[in-house]
Amino acid sequence: MATEITTTLNIPDHVPPELVWDHDFDSFCRELDDPFLAASRMLDGPPIVWGRSVFFGRPAWILARHALIEEAFFRTEVFSSERITPDERSGMRMIPVGLDPPEHGKYRRILQPYFSPKSMRSMEGMVIETCDSLIAAIADKGHCEFIHDFAARLPNMVFLSMMGMPLDMLDQFIEWEQLLIRAKDDEVRTGAARSIMMYLNGFIAEQRKETTTELMRILLAAEVDGKPMADIDLLGTCFLLYVGGLDTVYSSLGWIFRYLAQDQDLQQRLRDNPKDIAAAVEEFERAYPVARPTRTVAQDCTFHGVPMRKGEFVILPTYIAGRDPAVYADPHRVDIDRKARNITFATGPHTCLGVFLAKREINIVIEAFLSRFRNIRVPDGGGYDYHVGGVFGVDRLPLEWDMPNDKGGL
pLDDT of 245 = 66
Q: Provide mean pLDDT across the span 354-369.
A: 95
Provide the mean pLDDT of the chain: 91
Q: Is residue 409, in this structure, part of any structural domain at all?
A: no
Backbone angles phi, psi at 99, to 5 degrees: -125, 155
Backbone angles phi, psi at 24, to 5 degrees: -95, 120
DSSP-assigned beta bridge partners for residue 24: 53
Q: Where do the DSSP E strands lie in 243-397?
A: 294-297, 301-303, 306-308, 313-315, 374-377, 385-387, 393-396
Angstrom distance (rounded) from CA 288 to CA 395: 15
Share of the chain above pLDDT 70, in %: 94
Give the domain range for residue 277: 17-402
Q: pLDDT confidence of 120, banded at 50, 70, 90?
A: confident
The answer to whether residue 68 scores a pLDDT higher than 80 is yes
Residue 229 neighbours by CB under 8 Å, 6+ apart: 107, 110, 219, 222, 223, 237
CATH number of the domain that residue 189 is part of: 1.10.630.10
pLDDT of 3 = 44
pLDDT of 92 = 86
The answer to whether 366 and 281 have CB atoms below 8 angstroms apart is yes
pLDDT of 304 = 98
pLDDT of 407 = 42
Q: Is residue 152, in this structure, part of any structural domain at all?
A: yes
Q: Provide mean pLDDT across the span 60-72.
A: 98
Q: Provide mean pLDDT across the span 367-384.
A: 95
pTM, rounded to two decimals: 0.92
The answer to whether residue 410 scores a pLDDT higher than 60 is no
The answer to whether residue 2 scores a pLDDT higher than 80 is no
The structural domain count of the chain equals 1
Share of the chain above pLDDT 90, in %: 77
Angstrom distance (rounded) from CA 22 to CA 2: 8
Q: Is residue 5, in this structure, part of any structural domain at all?
A: no
The answer to whether residue 405 scores a pLDDT higher than 80 is no
CA atoms within 13 A on the CB side of 259: 21
Per-residue pLDDT tens digits for 130-171: 999 999 999 999 999 999 999 999 999 999 999 999 989 889
Per-residue pLDDT tens digits for 220-243: 999 999 999 999 999 999 998 888
The answer to whether residue 88 scores a pLDDT higher than 70 is no
Q: Is residue 343, in this structure, part of any structural domain at all?
A: yes
Q: Please name which of 315, 333, 313 lies closest in space to residue 323, comparing C-alpha atoms.
A: 333
The answer to whether residue 200 scores a pLDDT higher than 90 is yes
Per-residue pLDDT tens digits for 255-314: 999 999 999 999 999 999 999 999 999 999 999 999 999 999 999 999 999 999 999 999
10 Å Cβ neighbour count for 122? 10
pLDDT of 83 = 73
The answer to whether residue 87 scores a pLDDT higher than 50 is yes
Q: pLDDT confidence of 409, banded at 50, 70, 90?
A: very low
